[in-house]
Amino acid sequence: MPASPELAERAAADIATLRADLRTTWMEPFVDLTLTKRQALFRRLERLNKIAVAAWHEHTALELMLALWCFLQDLTDREVLILWEDSAMDRAMRRLTPMCEHGFTDPKTKIAAQRQAGALLGRLQAEGLYR
């Protein structure tokens, strides 16, 4: 049965808000940097991006979303990443949590997502991050 127009509108608005929060979150760490530092950090992130996502082509979008959620949840649980209340990232994680919980109804999916999150963490730790 198709979703009601009201539900579809609400979902579209939630996704738009989530995207806006994630765009804000992406840029926040760079705001106070000088142009030179910002460019250097962007180059490092581009290199890390290639390393981190190298194996992602073999996974579905849902699997990747769940793995990234597990990765972020691990960082926040261990207080490696602190989400300030009502920050853009806090709002994004609160919106993502119920979306991701739906994907974890199958225990195999949850285990696979946690394994992928651990692999991502390992690749980033090898590059000196999140130790």
pLDDT tens, 45-94?
Answer: 898 888 877 778 888 888 888 999 999 999 999 999 898 999 999 999 88
Question: pTM of the full predicted structure?
Answer: 0.79
Distance CA 40, CA 14 (A): 34
Whether 67 contacts 121, CB under 8 Å:
no
Domain ranges for the chain: 5-126
Q: DSSP letter for 3, please.
A: P
